Amino acid sequence: SWLGLWRRWSVGSPSPCSIPSGLNVCVSGSATSCEECLLLHPSCAWCAQEDFGRSRTFTSRCDFMSNLQKRGCESRFIENPVSFTSVLTNRPLSLKGSVASHDDVVQIMPQRISLSLRPGDQTWFNLQVRQVEDYPVDLYYLMDLSLSMKDDLDTIRNLGTKLALEMGKLTSNFRLGFGSFVDKNVSPFSYTAPKYQENPCSGYKPFPNCIPTFGFRHLLSLTDEVDRFNQEVQKQIVSRNRDAPEGGFDAILQAAVCKEEIGWRKDAYHLLVFASDDGAHLALDGRLGGIVQPHDGRCHLDEKNEYSASAQMDYPSLGLVGEKLAENNIFLIFAVTKRHYILYKNLTALIPGTTVEILDQDSKNVIQLIVNAYNNIRSKVELSVWDHPEDLSLSFSATCQDGKPLPGLRKCADLKIGDTVSFNVSVEARSCPPRGADHTFTIKPVGFKDRLEVEVNYRCDCGCSRTAQSNSSICSSVGMYHCGTCRCEPGYLGARCECQEGDSSSYLSACREAEGKQVCSGRGECSCNQCVCYESEFGKIYGGFCECDDFSCARHKGVLCSGHGECHCGECKCYAGFVGDNCNCSTDTASCLSDAGQMCSGRGSCVCGRCQCSEPGAFGDTCEKCPTCPDACGTKRECIECRLFNSGRLADNQTCQRLCKDQVLTVETLNTDDPGAVLCLFKTDNDCVMKFTYSEHASGRSVLTALKEPECGGGPDALMVLLAVVGSILLVGVVLLAAWKLVITVHDRREFARFQSARSRARYEMASNPLYKQPVSTHLVETDFSPFGKSYNGDVH
């Protein structure tokens, strides 16, 4: 059948435990009885056969099952219980919430199972969860009516009609209620002078009239008549208190526990919207006004539906508020102003099932805020465990929409209504409770009425115990024969109670682990061929030769095996979920997952449940902060796109809100002088440039400061470009001409200087000039008619 197939798929079937390597924990343990043997390790088995080991001295009846069989123990005498799971109630999941009887709506499967657990033996089971469509919704609007909320009160006077219209798109069965709060009418929280009792605003010029201060007032039970909500809101007048914090947690607790007065339906989502513009008082603040009685967590509405214990009980603690909200399946939505967002955001980590949204100063966005918060709540499933027995170890593995198992995780996000997710839960009992003390616990999704009831039965007793024989002849008539061994009466010792205390024995070698070793390891006495170990103030000494104890193991910060394991003969045996020599290293990786689902944001590794960042500059619990990382701008760009322009990969509102929790500021001019800020730029779809800076605030919050609008440059002016080109050409030509003229001028001047220098050095005279010739020449002529012989006449020209 379908049910049978589902059972075989979803329930852990018993299987033989893996035999541990190294030291045989069964033989070396302290087991002297069947029950003690079963507690040593899930692989240990006990042989109850009477004649087992008769041929050998000190044969341990506690050993691995295979070893016992090899040594002659018949299977019918072996005690070796295993853990298993049985499904008791398993109704199929529903598809819609709009059915005739809401008791028939099922959102978790199975609904009831039984676990039979042997200590140390792990078993597992599967459960499925589905957020059904069109599920009824109860919404109680809890409003701060202090004086600073006057403009908000004016805004929501017709809230009921508009909210019912929007919620009608999500569910066909919607009811609305209304309540208000201010603070305790006790000094110093409020004005208590007689003149302020009827009118706390007396003498306050901006708003001289208001109603007396009150703690919490239930005004309208949950109803589908939205006009009644509008009428009730329109009747309201603000009040006034003295200090800034309000008494909001008094009101939250009363709205949660006064189920009949508020009108919470059993089969509906319960949404409690808390609207305020200031902080809230917490436990112990009441002592300032002389109120010392702690809150009792009960309903205290009088006949006027007002909180009657406001002046008698202190403000509730966060733990008490979280407990009552979870107990009554209520999702708390903090709708607060931006100034107090961080304060309430920190509270969500301490109160399961809470979300926080930013409320405009005049509450104009309250409808969209509620719708967003509702969609956020319906987009995730988180398991919680109630009445968890201390001796049980639970570990979870979630399989969400992508079909990949996520070890150590018990929640899924980014779901659509109608999606089905599954969780694998492994269970291990660490010890046995007192006899007959069976336990139950509950697993339920946060805010759901549906739950899985788990019954736990412990397999700590041996079947052979039912046939125990007192004063058995096997035990020399002075002991009880129990599961193959004798439990001797006081004063008798030995495997068959054959020895009396004080008898001496010459066979001390039987009490030595090896030749040359001390008798009983120096930590016991040899009596009747067996070691009787000493008692120790530090723990238990055990073993066939008193060689083991349960206190000589590694410690972490002074705690044996870090408190996450048990010491067996010098070695820590860690509980499920812990490893290491001293069991101080957790294998749970849930704390290392970033909001985006990445292990250590992809910038480190998860070691012992904590991220070790390997990327230079990365820090934070999940290495999510890294202004200097190469991908820092790219990562934050997507948040800028979806937060400011509703575009990009994360444009889906729920995804943007979940992944982009940084504070985003917009400015006209971007300051880039901050040394701790990284300047980022990216090109938008319309070719504009968007600039923003990314920095880490001292409070640990990431801050993105962006321009209100991207920078978009205009198109080029053709005329200006032409003029610029022509002007550049002319300028270059003029510069070249000037340079050429300068070179020619310098060259001419140098030549002229050289000519002048040569001219000044020339000092020639007419006679000495070799190129000059006289204009007159002289010639000599020889004649013969002279009586004295030859004669010469000179002819001058």
For the record, the structure tokens of 726 come out as 């022509």
How much is the pTM? 0.58
Whole-number Å distance between alpha carbons of 492 and 235: 89
Whole-number Å distance between alpha carbons of 314 and 292: 6
For the record, the structure tokens of 463 come out as 């079947």
Q: Which residues contact 166 (CB under 8 A, 6 or more apart)?
A: 367, 370, 371
pLDDT tens column, 315-327:
999 999 999 999 9
Provide the pairing of β-strand 689-696 with 791-796. Answer: unpaired
The answer to whether 527 touches 507, Cβ cutoff 8 Å, is no
List, as own/partner pairs, every contact residues 341-348 make where C-beta atoms lie below 8 angstroms and the sequence separation is at least 24, other chains included: 342/699, 342/701, 343/279, 347/318
Which of 106, 192, 184, 94 lies closest to 146, judged by CA? 184
Whole-number Å distance between alpha carbons of 123 and 285: 47
Between the two ends of the chain, the Cα-to-Cα distance in Å is: 162
Reply yes or no: is the peptide bond before residue 188 cis, omega within 30 of 0: yes
For the record, the structure tokens of 648 come out as 């990009």
What pLDDT is recorded for position 81? 92
Residue 640 Cα distances to 382, 414, 658, 670, 704, angstroms: 29, 20, 14, 15, 8
Q: Which residue has the tokens 């403009």?
A: 151
Q: Which fold has domain 555-586?
A: Laminin (2.10.25)
Give the start-end residues of each E strand in 243-388. Answer: 269-276, 330-336, 354-358, 381-386
- CB burial string 432-460: b at 16+ within 10 A, e below: bbeeeeebebebbbbbbbbbbbbebebbb
What pLDDT is recorded for position 328? 92
Q: Show the low-confidence residues of the chain (pLDDT under 70).
A: 1-23, 28-30, 53-59, 98-103, 436-438, 501-508, 527, 535, 537, 596, 630-631, 653-654, 698-700, 713-717, 761-797
Which of 710, 711, 693 lies closest to 636, judged by CA? 693
Whole-number Å distance between alpha carbons of 263 and 283: 27
What pLDDT is recorded for position 436? 67
Residue 554 CB burial class (10 angstroms; 0-12, 13-18, ≥19) = middle
Whole-number Å distance between alpha carbons of 239 and 368: 27
What pLDDT is recorded for position 303? 93
Give the start-end residues of each E strand in 243-344. Answer: 269-276, 330-336
What pLDDT is recorded for position 604? 85
Quick one: which H or E segment has residue 85?
Answer: strand 84-89
Instruction: Measure the CA angle with vertex 385, ends 14 and 588; round to 5°.
Output: 70
Residue 209 Cα distances to 31, 201, 239, 461, 678, angstroms: 81, 5, 9, 75, 52
pLDDT tens column, 41-74:
889 999 998 888 664 345 678 888 988 888 889 9
Q: Which residues contact 272 (CB under 8 A, 6 or more apart)?
A: 139, 140, 142, 252, 255, 256, 325, 330, 331, 332, 333
Q: Which fold has domain 137-379?
A: Rossmann fold (3.40.50)
Whole-number Å distance between alpha carbons of 609 and 87: 33
* 396 bridge partner residues: 425
List, as own/partner pairs, every contact residues 706-712 make where C-beta atoms lie below 8 angstroms and the sequence separation is at least 24, other chains included: 706/640, 706/644, 706/664, 706/665, 706/666, 706/667, 706/670, 707/666, 707/667, 707/668, 707/669, 707/670, 708/666, 708/667, 708/668, 710/684, 710/686, 712/686, 712/687, 712/688
The answer to whether 351 touches 322, Cβ cutoff 8 Å, is yes
The string of DSSP letters for 122-150 reads -EEEEEEEE--BS--EEEEEEEE-SGGGH
Q: Residue 370: what residue type?
A: I
pLDDT tens column, 325-362:
999 999 999 999 999 999 999 999 889 889 999 988 87
Q: Which residue has the tokens 């009040």?
A: 239
Residue ranges per structural domain of the chain: 84-133+383-458, 137-379, 555-586, 630-707
What pLDDT is recorded for position 788? 44
The answer to whether 587 touches 604, Cβ cutoff 8 Å, is no
CATH for the 84-133+383-458 domain, from 1.10.3720.10, 3.40.50.2300, 3.30.70.270, 2.60.40.1510: 2.60.40.1510
CATH (residue range 630-707): 4.10.1240.30
Q: Residue 450: what residue type?
A: D
For the record, the structure tokens of 128 come out as 């499925």
Give the start-end residues of each E strand in 360-504. Answer: 381-386, 392-399, 405-407, 411-412, 420-429, 439-445, 452-458, 479-482, 485-488, 492-493, 499-500
